[in-house]
Amino acid sequence: MAISTPKIIGNSKILLVTKARAKKVARSDLSVLITGESGTGKELFARFIHDNSPRARKPFVAINCAAIPEGLLESSLFGHTKGAFTGADAKKDGIFVQANGGTLFLDEIGDMPFSLQAKILRVLQEGVIQPVGSRTEEKVDVRIVSATHRDLIEMAKAKEFREDLIYRLEGFSLHLPALHDRGHDIVTLARTFLKSRKEFSNKSLSRDAHALLMAYSWPGNIRELQNVILAAAVEAPMTVGGRHLRPHMKGNMTKPANTETSIEDRLLASMENKGRMTLAQLRANFSEPRSTLHRHLMKMSRDGTVQRITYGITVWFTTDNNQHITPPTTLSDRQTQALKIAKATGRITRKQFAEAIGISISTAGRELAGLIERGMLVPDGRSGKWSGYILPSL
Ligand SMILES: Nc1ncnc2c1ncn2[C@@H]1O[C@H](COP(=O)(O)OP(=O)(O)OP(=O)(O)O)[C@@H](O)[C@H]1O
Ligand SMILES: [Mg+2]
């Protein structure tokens, strides 16, 4: 079994059923037609079928019929003899020969030129190919798995696709569900894509990112999810929030996502802005009661969305993983003393501090301001000459 094949991720019922069908058909030698919207994993499933088939140790060769110019496609598929056309100075094997014994994945089979469809039919019916320029046919043993996002029946009605070829390709038909029908797989995939990149592997999803992922229609399916989540992660410091995802989502919502920014998202935005914040500092920016903020912060620190860093008597909240290696700038001796006084007496004023350690009131004011800036002291709410500072409560 090829070890390089990526795993098919997801546990939704619909995906598990699809995987089980793929596994069963893999053991047969039937040709398989895989259908599904763009980005649903058709190529991934083609490899999965090969890897689970008795041909697993033989080659798996994929060719995208839409990507090769019509003039080249025939010789790419079937090979050519020496001198078959200008520039053909040696005999060359085609893809059918390269895949001999194994599996050939014909991607975008709907784009196979009408003129070549008869030759493909011949391989499927007789197991023979005819290289360009050759008069004789060669035997090949190749299992065909094909895929398309086009409606071959409609194409057959419009005489763009041979009806008899459809039946040959579709020995078994495997339809891949769209991503928005795979429920929680969306979030599992998003997490896996983050984990798969070492630069994003420690990033998590906020609750409203989660809701948004589930509400979005995902017209580009898994490929789009991969692009959106990685682009969002570039701009998210530690937690990927709804605000990081939204700019990358170009399609529609399948249900109204709760677009109102949640309190946790607003808390995260504040922390991202400032690097780290104390509860007291956060309180100044929020109308919610302290207990509500505290409850959310504690929950977020438990589930790893934010970090709680204790430094001295101060507790910081941050979304930045690297904060623990850069502790807040150290305090002056005077500031340490100010904190001791505040702790012992419950509050501190500039005058009280100045007298206690014998410095001027303006110097005392400067030292205290440094502590206030760091959120280690907060105004006690009294004004003018009575104003003092207290330790932030947490
Ligand atoms: N269930 C899954 N688990 C993990 N990765 C997946 C899954 N499904 C798809 N992918 C990844 O998503 C990307 C798109 O998948 P793939 O190329 O197989 O889709 P496709 O249906 O062939 O798309 P298109 O129709 O655009 O060619 C690939 O990188 C693939 O590895
Ligand atoms: Mg594909």
CATH code: domain of residue 208: 1.10.8.60
- pLDDT, residue 261, reads 64
**Same domain for 40 and 106?**
yes
Total domain count for the chain? Answer: 4
pLDDT for 1 beyond 50: no
pLDDT exceeds cutoff 80 at 313: no
Q: pLDDT tens-digit profile of 86-118?
A: 888 899 999 999 999 999 999 999 999 998 999
According to DSSP, the β-strands at 103-107 and 60-64 are: parallel
Q: Which domain holds residue 371?
A: 333-390
Q: What is the pLDDT of residues 27-43, one digit of tens each?
A: 999 999 999 999 999 99
Please check whether residue 316 is in contact with residue 309, taking contact to mean a CB–CB distance below 8 angstroms.
Answer: yes
> Is residue 139 domain-shared with residue 83, that is, in the same domain?
yes
Count of CB atoms situated within 10 Å of the CB of 273: 11
pLDDT, one tens digit per residue, over 176-230 is 999 999 998 999 999 999 999 999 998 989 888 988 999 999 999 999 999 999 9
Ligand 1 in reach of 43 Cβ (< 6 A): yes
The pLDDT tens digits for 247-300 are 999 988 887 665 556 788 788 878 877 778 888 888 888 888 888 999 999 888
Q: Is the CB of 44 under 6 A from ligand 1?
A: yes
Amino acid at the residue 175: H
Phi, psi for residue 177 in degrees, rounded to 5: -70, 150
* Averaged confidence pLDDT in the chain: 89
Q: Side chain identity at 249, as an amino acid letter?
A: M
Evaluate whether 277 touches 316 at the Cβ level (below 8 Å): yes
Torsion angle defined by CA atoms of residues 338, 343, 344 and 350, in that order, rounded to the nearest 10 degrees: 40
Pair 199, 77 in one domain: no
Distance CA 134, CA 81 (A): 6
pLDDT recorded at residue 316: 82
> Is 325's pLDDT higher than 70?
no
Pocket probe mutation, ligand 1, options 223, 224, 227, 228, max atoms within 8 Å of Cβ? 223
**Residue carrying the six token digits 């098919």:** 8
Q: Are 74 and 138 in contact (CB under 8 A)?
A: no
pLDDT at 322 over 70: no
Q: Whose CA is nearest to atom 9 of ligand 1?
A: 41
Query: Residues 172, 187: one domain?
Result: no
Q: Judge whether residue 331 has pLDDT over 90.
A: no
Same domain for 231 and 157? no
Given a cut of 70, whether residue 80 has pLDDT beyond it is: yes
Q: What is the DSSP string of 37-94?
A: STTSSHHHHHHHHHHTSTTTTS-EEEEETTTS-HHHHHHHHH-B-TTSSTT--S-B--
pLDDT value at position 310?
Answer: 75
Q: Are residues 364 and 346 in the same domain?
A: yes
Q: Is residue 306 part of a domain?
A: yes
